[in-house]
A and B are shown apart, each in its own frame.
Chain A
Amino acid sequence: DAGITQSPRHKVTETGTPVTLRCHQTENHRYMYWYRQDPGHGLRLIHYSYGVKDTDKGEVSDGYSVSRSKTEDFLLTLESATSSQTSVYFCAISATGTTYEQYFGPGTRLTVT
């Protein structure tokens, strides 16, 4: 597995609270991604980053924000968690704009009660 870790691995939180998930990589890859996985939907892109401080929206970005202040870290924040954001969140990385292959982290299971 590529050097990708996610923290926390499991979290239970209440509706309305802020939550931050962290993705850390040791591969020095330029691109980092956040996906959510829900039954019947496969994986859906939330946000991605193509460099430090450079981010863009994916197909399900509403309710989420991201930040990347260092190459190795990509943070996903739920400003005010809702029950519809209960999901498994995966981070992924890829090396360059021409390499294309994305490798996934172990995932974070988030439950919003």
Chain B
Amino acid sequence: GENVEQHPSTLSVQEGDSAVIKCTYSDSASNYFPWYKQELGKRPQLIIDIRSNVGEKKDQRIAVTLNKTAKHFSLHITETQPEDSAVYFCAASINGNKLVFGAGTILRVKS
């Protein structure tokens, strides 16, 4: 079955700097890759996603890139702000069902 590895497990950045979180997946049939943000005690919130027919997608300060050949995808956050501090999860699936999540990255943005 699918296996998703996520790095780093914790990431500290200065406010205004960029943050990058990377994930690798094992099943070449996976075609959907969402990213979730979870604040303490809250539900995971979908922040951006990408499908395998696209190499990059942007939404304001957030972007996701996908390398199907290497089977990895990354989340990029530019101009980080204190409210970006949270746990971020990547996931992979075939056609949206049976999401397999990475273990999460704790992002701390220091002001």
Contacts and interface: CB of A to CB of B under 8 A. Distances in A.
Contacts of A45: 98-100
B60 interface: no
A101 B49 contact: yes
A104 B99 CA distance: 13
Interface in B26-58: 32, 34, 36, 42-46, 49, 51
Interface residues of B, number: 25
Interface string A13-55: 0000000000000000001010000001111110010100000
A99 to B, nearest CB: 7
A43 B101 contact: yes
Contacts of B111: none
Contacts of A44: 101
B43 A105 contact: yes
Interface in B90-108: 91, 93, 95-104
Contacts of B36: 104
B89 interface: yes
A102 B98 contact: no
Nearest to A50: B97
Contact of A100 (B1, B32, B44, B45): B32
A97 B32 CA distance: 12
Contact of A107 (B43, B51, B91, B97): B43
Nearest to A102: B99
B97 A42 contact: no
Nearest to A58: B98
A43 B44 contact: yes
A106 B93 CA distance: 22
Contacts of A106: 42-43
Given A40-B103, A41-B103, A94 B43 contact: no
Contacts of A94: 96
A29 B1 CA distance: 27
A74 interface: no
Interface of B: 1, 6, 32, 34, 36, 42-46, 49, 51, 89, 91, 93, 95-104
